[in-house]
Structure 1
């Protein structure tokens, strides 16, 4: 893990870190699962966190060995239907949907001169940020359409550092999914996992929720780790 004094930038996931759009994703995917006759449960919902749209659809279909029952065009139509369902929900979002503590944390990062970028697999992240009123914080955002590999591959977080003109070792990545933490670690950044520390055991730093996400807590965690 890097020294706290080496950190110059933060690379954020969106879903489950800045806002809880994962609820909307789950609702929209649940509708698709019902349509194709795949039973929905919490295990399947968790497996889709941080995964791209087509990869998510293929995971759903694979649950009942249906991945070969649909043509590429039919799969694209299902993914588009999911996205339409999701956008209907997203369009109702307001700044009240920002997770607790995130507004203060982003303001603190900006006040202290840290650079920020977004590393979300969601192609709808600009729309979400607009509805939340946070677009000005994330003028640098990885375009998921430009990526060759999805999480847990490190490409997206590596790119998140590149667009800030920073070395990955100068960045902290913030995630709520195991695949995302793996991506951060693979990119060579310090990883913060938000959520169940058992699920996110690979993270360098664990916080159970976003209210604990402060510069003071991060500095303390990194200092303690360096002294251990």
Structure 2
């Protein structure tokens, strides 16, 4: 195992919470009313464009300048990130990353919202990652990560939380490790409930067994 490609959200920390914080601020500023806490689950995992549609529907807005609102929310998300600390890391996330690093496993993180560099720096993990991969001009972030790491896909593993991510790993011929909702990760090669269940030795053994 020479490389690992990690998702940022729900593997390192919960960016859904930060996104919701930004959507709440946008709603208050633009529509004079915040969003109810119960909407957090409805927006979790959605793209920013999809989330905007949910917010506009909530306020019954049909003629909003969507491009301007997306830009505004993106800036508010950046401000939310300014306030994070390593206390917001998910349990075991840092230990797992350091274990990879100590065993000379090169690391990449998927950047789907444009702020991965800033987040890793804020939580003091930026020195452990070789590559931050954005989703511009690529159909498969995992293949792109392997290319940027200069490692064959068969020598990498991927760790993610969604059905879409798991499928991309399989398309890239990467050992797929799913974390979280069993319905979302049912097709993964290996599944756990939370990041805290992952251990380097276990992941190494899974990768070695796949080579036989």
Q: What is the deviation of 1:57?
A: 3.3
- Structure 2 CA distance for partners of 1:63 and 1:130, relative to 1, 3 Å: same
Q: CA RMSD in A?
A: 3.0
- Structure 2 CA distance for partners of 1:204 and 1:63, relative to 1, 3 Å: farther
Q: For residue 2 of structure 2, what is the aligned residue in structure 1?
A: 8
Equivalent pair of 1:12/1:120 in contact (CA under 8 Å): no
Q: What is the deviation of 1:127?
A: 0.7
- Structure 2 CA distance for partners of 1:24 and 1:60, relative to 1, 3 Å: same
- Aligned counterpart in structure 2 of residue 194 of structure 1, from 179, 201, 204: 179
Return the structure number with greater relative CO, CA threshold 8 A, min gap 6.
Answer: 1
Q: What is the deviation of 1:140?
A: 1.2
Q: Secondary structure at the match of 1:80?
A: helix
Q: Give the gaps of 5 or more residues in structure 2.
A: none
Separation in 2, partners of 1:64, 1:158: 40
Residue pairs, 1:1-150, within 5 angstroms:
7-32=1-26, 41=39, 44-48=42-46, 51=47, 53-54=48-49, 56-57=51-52, 69-70=63-64, 74-144=65-135, 146-148=136-138
Q: For residue 165 of structure 1, what is the aligned residue in structure 2?
A: 150
Q: Secondary structure at the match of 1:77?
A: helix
Q: Secondary structure at the match of 1:12?
A: strand
Q: What is the deviation of 1:122?
A: 1.7
Aligned length in residues: 208
Once the two structures are overlaid, the 10-residue window that deviates more, 28-37 or 214-223, is 28-37
Q: Give the gaps of 5 or more residues in structure 1.
A: 1-6, 149-153
Residue pairs, 1:170-189, within 5 angstroms:
170-189=155-174
Separation in 1, partners of 2:194, 2:78: 26
1:51-83 residue CA offsets vs partner (Å, 9 max, x unmatched) = 3x34543566589997x845xxx2221111211
TM-score normalized by structure 2?
0.82
